[in-house]
Chains A and B, each alone.
Chain A
């Protein structure tokens, strides 16, 4: 074997290696910083080991933010999944209208989430917003959408749903179009109804695609910042201060760098664990889907 041939595998892994270093370097540096009390008021800090994490976990503010983050992520991912699959089923059934709607459907995905949040902020404005204007004939024109804790959280989830439901729908639609035709033909011959076919054939075979969308959306929703910050800034009170907003406030606004990074490391761990569980589950779902298709 010539030396060029022997060297080839090492040369080929260089881009991946550089990429890995590019990811690991800032991550490792961030992790290292959390072991210090680094802040603007202490630019040459002492090592405090895990004190920042201890403080994070003993803070009521952290548990409040963690709870809000989970509520947001579960709420947004669940609604987007149900709506996304429903939209995909509708588009899959109709032909010409479906093709036109498909094009329109992706419009929210072309808008930056922060811009979408600002547009919705204007639309939800109680006195001049279009939402209350449309609700006025039904006697509901005075709703203060983001002035109450529940309203603010639901409004934020609604914006997320508006932006990202098309993403789920597109993935689900791609899944629907790739399903094998033979099980459905057999079901039709047997005289199976729509609901039976959907429950016993479509959904089991579609699950892997849906779960991929859920994984993406759940992980993204856990890391949400832009939509909530543009819509409510985390208010009223602390009702929409998710972990990312808390981390931003600590690290950038209040300049407690180490403490702020500790929040992001905790969030990273949560997202990583959630993703691991979901991906493991995805494998099982894929095997089940393959079994249904093979029957």
Chain B
């Protein structure tokens, strides 16, 4: 009997040891994925003359965000397969979940997706850990890249936005090309022409005018036949996405910076006296003329309010207004006009932008086929077709922006082309590149909500700057 007890104890001890073995092995194995890095690029393996059929029979897996650009891409995928013999399998996720899915997937170190959509800001997060393939060597290799791809045809500020040296605070346009611009947005003011006409308003040329007009619409529009209409739709949810469109555009036009950089060290600058005053004014504008329940507002709500004639103006991506302005898309279609928005005190039209880019997984086992896909998706033929027959605007290529068929398609939207041409050269990423971008901007949105809720702007922004100084410094 005694022996039996000893046997059981030994059995349990051995079992515990067996259970602990994988744990200890995992501890020794490191922290997800392997860190083996190749010094050379896989692009160097591609030699000979350029051939679209080089990877015939391969299947490329793509992760895509639900978007009109994506719809245009999917509609044209057959052309790619016919041209290359490469099949594309894809998963499409809504934007709320898309980046979480992509982040978790990339951080796992697996190659479940060879190519994916991302924004330029994500390069700052995904680039430093080595998750993104540097596309520079592929672009420079004439065996891998056809002459008709024509790199010089891209708007230079867009290509530069996806190019970074991976050093916090270093300017864009240097270092690796971690993604390619595919579709983009500039941030401008779109407005309901009916309410402007009825109330005798003109688009604002200064920020003070914009605040005043927003308040006027909220006060007077309901009595003028626009039931429930408020002044201006801007984003307000507790998310990084609240900061980058209208807010950052107007912030930059006022000559304000998110961080100052000295000797590679970043110092938060959201609490300078000028930044505090501007932030207070922005929150005041939202209170006076913004949407009810602003703290939950994402671009979906902003855009649909303009389309539903609930918002008199929208300060956001030009595409967010465009999707409502397209004939038959919304009750306000045919009544939406575009304007560059207020200038800064010195006349600045500095504008922040968002770029939907395409990137390649550094762990992909099908890099050559993936590059052919990226080349095709960002090439003139597909993008021209998508812009003219679908809603893939704004074009990332100058040749398409200048194309008469594209211009004819867009001409019926009052002010769209003029606005685009006015701001295009001054549109760039106005943020300072750094890996803590999402933390900084989410906290910034939270601070904005607190100020909107009545807390003192100076105290809130000082707190934000103090918190961020530890994280980015």
Contacts and interface: CB of A to CB of B under 8 A. Distances in A.
A262 to B, nearest CB: 15
Interface in A25-65: 25, 28-29, 32-33, 36, 38, 40-41, 43-45
B22 interface: yes
B35 A44 contact: yes
B144 interface: no
Interface in B241-262: none
B121 interface: no
B439 A147 contact: no
Contacts of B294: 147
B293 A145 contact: yes
Contacts of A255: 103, 107, 125, 129
Contact of A236 (B15, B19, B291, B295): B295
Contact of A24 (B15, B19, B26, B310): B19
Interface string A186-215: 000000000000000000000000000000
Interface stretch (B71-79, B396-404, B444-452): B444-452
A41 B23 contact: no
Query: Sorted from nearest, which 7 A-B pairs have the closest CB atoms?
Result: A235-B238, A126-B292, A237-B450, A236-B449, A233-B238, A236-B295, A254-B439
B238 A236 contact: yes
Contact of A232 (B104, B126, B296): B296
Given A29-B26, A41-B128, 6 more contacts: A10-B11, A147-B294, A152-B295, A236-B295, A236-B449, A253-B100
A84 interface: no
Interface of B: 4, 11, 15, 19, 22-23, 26-27, 30-33, 35, 100, 103-104, 107, 125-126, 128-130, 228, 237-239, 291-296, 310, 435-436, 438-439, 442, 445-447, 449-450, 452-453, 455
A121 B293 CA distance: 10
B129 A40 contact: yes
Nearest to B237: A233
Most chain B beta carbons < 10 A, residue from A43, A249, A252: A43
Nearest to B15: A17
Q: Is the interface of B mostly helix, strand, loop or mixed?
A: helix
Contacts of B22: 25
Interface residues of A, number: 44
A146 B100 contact: no
Nearest to A126: B292
Contacts of B130: 43
A43 B446 contact: no
Given A10-B11, A146-B295, A253-B438, A40 B449 contact: no
Given A236-B450, A237-B449, A254 B436 contact: yes
A249 B442 contact: yes
A148 B296 CA distance: 11
B449 A252 contact: no
Contacts of A142: 292
Contacts of A28: 23
A113 to B, nearest CB: 16
Interface string A220-234: 000000000000111
B35 A147 contact: no
15 contacts: A28-B23, A33-B31, A40-B125, A43-B129, A44-B31, A127-B293, A147-B292, A235-B237, A235-B296, A236-B295, A237-B449, A249-B439, A253-B439, A254-B436, A254-B438
Given A40-B128, A43-B33, A144 B446 contact: no
Contacts of B19: 17, 20-21, 24-25
A149 interface: yes
A238 B446 contact: yes
Contacts of B449: 235-237
Nearest to B128: A41
Contact of A235 (B15, B33, B295, B435): B295
Contacts of B439: 249, 253-254
A147 B283 CA distance: 13
A125 interface: yes
Contacts of B296: 121, 146, 232-233, 235
Contacts of B238: 232-237
Interface string A159-198: 0000000000000000000000000000000000000000
Contacts of A21: 19
A32 B292 contact: no
A213 to B, nearest CB: 31
B295 A232 contact: yes
A98 to B, nearest CB: 38
A25 B76 CA distance: 46
Contacts of A43: 31-33, 35, 129-130
A82 to B, nearest CB: 29
A44 B30 CA distance: 7
A154 B363 CA distance: 46
A37 to B, nearest CB: 10
Contacts of B126: 40
Contacts of A236: 238, 295, 446, 449-450, 452-453
Interface in A79-137: 121, 124-127
Nearest to B305: A127
A24 to B, nearest CB: 7
- Between B126, B228, B238, B453, the greatest number of chain A beta carbons within 10 A of the residue's beta carbon is seen for B238
A200 to B, nearest CB: 48
Given A43-B129, A233-B237, A144 B11 contact: no
Nearest to B453: A236
B438 A252 contact: no
A35 to B, nearest CB: 10
Given A127-B310, A147-B294, A148-B453, A237 B446 contact: yes
A32 B129 contact: no
A32 B126 CA distance: 24
B362 to A, nearest CB: 12
A259 to B, nearest CB: 11
A142 B125 CA distance: 41
A12 to B, nearest CB: 13
Given A147-B453, A236-B453, A25 B23 contact: yes
B228 A127 contact: yes
A28 to B, nearest CB: 5
